[in-house]
Structure 1
Amino acid sequence: MASIGTIMLRVYTSRAQLPVLGATVAVTQKSGGGRHTLLAVRTTDENGRIAPVRVATPDPAASESPGTPTPFASCDVWVEAPGYEMLYLENMQVFPNTETLQEVDLTPLPEQAPPASRGETVNVTPQEL
């Protein structure tokens, strides 16, 4: 039986650690063939936080012996806000019955920056289990 884990994000400006209000956060899972399944879209509040996103995770009992599937689900997260570089978090791990809090620091764009597809990709490496 699958379990549920939750994702929480706190988005802030990297220079001053101030919360970013109104950032758009999209949470997806890879579904094969280079495609993604959209799980949720959230907007940050005045504290830079989003409402929790529930994610189906593997049953914890299924990973208790060697050679079994990983004990977590992987998600990808896109974060963007006007005036900041977009950030893409790849392979964020979500464990069963656990709330995962991810701190996200957005880099302000230079004042004269063109509205281009500037951004950063962060690959979250799996934990040693």
Structure 2
Amino acid sequence: MKLALVIDDSRVVRKVARRILEDLDFEVAEAGDGAEGLAWCRTEMPDAVLLDWNMPVMDGLEFLQRLRQEPGGDAPRVVFCSVENDLDRVRSALDAGADEYIMKPFDGDIVASKLTLAGVL
């Protein structure tokens, strides 16, 4: 079974994402910020990461940059899930190594589509 890590400071968003991912046959782990997510990745590298941008402690962009420097950190498919819709912000996420970008709010069809495009499904 593939492992997905949901990193978002909102418990509600994590819960919604967990349901969607479990319906897509993922085992799901959760983190409330980028630092917690990075610690998780150092223990077990996920197949996919759904990543929020704006979080306390370590934001999504910093998490992504640091993940890509970790041993095996190039493997997870990272999908940003954010309210950030400025084209320059989206481009900076993709330039930093994100595989796809989803605008909040999202649903199961959008997540499945983006994970398919990222090569996880």
TM range (shorter): under 0.3
Provide the TM-score with structure 1 as the length reference. Answer: 0.24
User: Which of the two has greater helix per residue?
Assistant: 2
Q: Which has the larger radius of gyration?
A: 1
User: Which of the two has greater strand per residue?
Assistant: 1
